Homo-oligomer: A and B are copies of this chain.
Amino acid sequence: MYAVIMAGGEGTRFWPLSRAACPKQFLGILGGEPLLVQTLKRLEGLIPPERIIVTVNRKHREVAQRLVGNLPPENLIVEPRIRDTAPCIGLAASIIRKRAGDQTILCLPSDHIIHPAEGLRECLRHAEACVSGDPAALYTIGIRPTYPATGYGYILRGSAVQEVDGNTVYEVSSFHEKPSVAVAEAYFDSGDYFWNSGIFFWRTDAILEAVRRRLPELHEGLQQLAPDLDTAGMEAALARVFPRLPRISLDYGVLEQADRVRVVEGRFAWDDVGTWRVLRGHLPADEHSNVKQGNVVAMDSSGCVLYAGGDHLVAALGVRDLIIVSTPDATLVTTREQAERVRDLVAKLKEHRLDRYL
């Protein structure tokens, strides 16, 4: 098996801690190791380093090189432009096929919280057995909802098609975008929906065939790149071709259109670390429901997420349900509900030519 760890994201939703020069996958948002390092560690003993590919944006080559440790240099794939997950996964699959022929590939985001790691490993150990049941299908890992989340995409499962060591493989009946509260509650109550974890596995040939059928433009680009992959000319070829590839997610461009998509339940706690609210789920709260990280003082305040980066001090006085994040050069103050819009705020900072804070 091969693994592809996708670390090319911008991480704008974690501004001001996450910056253009150092998005969240390279940071320990919850105070631990950088999320990318945690992701790599989860694969230890399961996939050897020479079979792990990490994809990063050109801007983050250096920070990624420092973090990936003993990964062979040729396994750090540098994308010259932000192009979302479909080009990223298509490129990685093309490289793996060129190196090793048809293989099972695990695709993992680099910036999620998963615990215990063994829960994910247990799931991935069965990937080979799953795909051998139907090598042409595409497999996603679904998480059984623990509450009616509105911040995740959902997967409606269809009939069971296979049983692997006590794990049921289901057909995917449909994918659903982040729902409203009412819809999320209906999904949650039905028991037929999984959260879409963004963790996938499939045979190289299956995903590349799906790309060929659903995203011909991407397929065409990958064909152009093929002769140069893993050669001295690869960087130049990528610089030429990659920016012209369609900017589209694999979910939207391929999975939601594909014929044979399966879902397997991942039995582990999972969070896509989508907004600053995540701290509430993963760090202990004080007696006034404040979650604190760093140099933080709260007085007559409750329900707040208070994050101070570096030596900065955050002091809250008489406030409720706020999210306050400070770094030495920038401070964000928002609410739990508005935290999903930090991305829009970052766009506004760009508009205002405040790029030095991004």
- Which chain A residues have a beta carbon within 8 Å of chain B's beta carbons? 16, 295, 297, 299-300, 308, 311-319, 322, 324, 326, 328-335, 337-338, 341-342, 344-345, 348-349, 352, 354, 357
Contacts and interface: CB of A to CB of B under 8 A. Distances in A.
B313 A330 contact: yes
Nearest to A315: B332
Given A297-B345, A297-B352, A329 B316 contact: no
Given A329-B312, A330-B313, A331-B313, A354 B297 contact: yes
A300 B329 CA distance: 22
A349 B296 CA distance: 10
A318 B331 contact: no
Contacts of A330: 312-315
Given A308-B331, A313-B330, A333-B333, 19 more contacts: A16-B315, A299-B345, A312-B328, A312-B330, A313-B349, A313-B357, A315-B331, A315-B332, A315-B345, A315-B349, A316-B333, A317-B333, A318-B337, A319-B335, A319-B338, A322-B333, A324-B331, A326-B331, A328-B329
Contacts of A324: 331, 333
| Interface-central residue, A295, A319, A333, A334, by most chain B CB under 10 Å | A333
Nearest to A316: B333
A317 B295 contact: no
B328 A328 contact: yes
A354 B313 contact: yes
A319 B335 CA distance: 7
| Most interface-central of A311, A330, A349 (chain B CB within 10 A) | A330
Contacts of A338: 300, 317-319
A314 B344 CA distance: 15
A299 to B, nearest CB: 5
Nearest to A334: B317
A277 to B, nearest CB: 13
B297 A317 contact: no
Nearest first, the 9 closest Cβ-Cβ pairs linking A and B are A318-B338, A317-B334, A313-B330, A326-B331, A313-B357, A317-B345, A331-B331, A314-B331, A315-B332
A332 B357 contact: no
Contact of A348 (B299, B312, B337, B341): B299
A349 B315 CA distance: 9
A312 B330 CA distance: 5
Contacts of A342: 317
